[in-house]
Structure 1
């Protein structure tokens, strides 16, 4: 019996070791974020930047270890769909922040 789980289409879904590795890395990243906040070692903006960096790393860990996204040709459509989603969310959030900032500036001047 193989350690990697396969579906009916023959795709690998990772092994128990892979899931445990992802889980341990995720817990360590979460603990690091809590530790940064509790230790007050950075300024508030530095803490926010460090937490943002840890969050991005954790997203990558989840994509690799739990969603099994990689650069293989079988994953091409999944990666394209993910990239489209990321771009759409960035446009939506960036546009919202721009509109709210612009509205705030225009309402404060009157």
Structure 2
């Protein structure tokens, strides 16, 4: 009975190989934007888009390699909880920015 519990607990954790892959990808996805910002060679708009895209990719890398979120049945509730939380945060931030922008334009119209 103890072996069944231990094997189930070990199934949720990643291997050393997956942690190393996640770490290397995280370092690469951090070094590229750092280099783009420290040594500007592109227009600001393109640099910002690249940095944001690499940030989103890095979030996915952290979710997959460190938090072990995947499409398996065991992780379905965790993934749905994460997606709901991300949606609520996006709505709160997006709508707050929209309200502040609307107030700003209304106040500046005078």
TM-score (norm 2): 0.89
| Correspondence 1:22-61 to 2 at 5 A | 22-61=22-61
Could you list the structure 1 runs, at least 4 aligned residues long, displaced by more than 3 angstroms after superposition. none
1:9 positional shift: 7.1
CA distance in 1, matches of 2:18, 2:77: 23
RMSD of the TM alignment (CA)? Answer: 1.3
Q: Kindly tell me: are residues 84 and 9 of structure 1, through their superposed partners in 2, closer, same or farther at Cα, counting changes over 3 Å?
A: farther
Task: Give the corresponding residue for 1:105.
Answer: 105
1:44 positional shift: 1.4
Unaligned runs of 5+ in 1: 1-6
CA distance in 1, matches of 2:95, 2:12: 39
CA distance in 2, matches of 1:12, 1:78: 12
1:8 positional shift: 4.2
CA distance in 2, matches of 1:109, 1:28: 46
Secondary structure at the counterpart of residue 100 of structure 1: helix
CA distance in 1, matches of 2:99, 2:88: 16
CA distance in 2, matches of 1:8, 1:108: 64
CA distance in 2, matches of 1:42, 1:89: 31
Task: Give the corresponding residue for 1:20.
Answer: 20
Task: Give the corresponding residue for 1:78.
Answer: 78
1:32 positional shift: 0.4
Unaligned runs of 5+ in 2: none
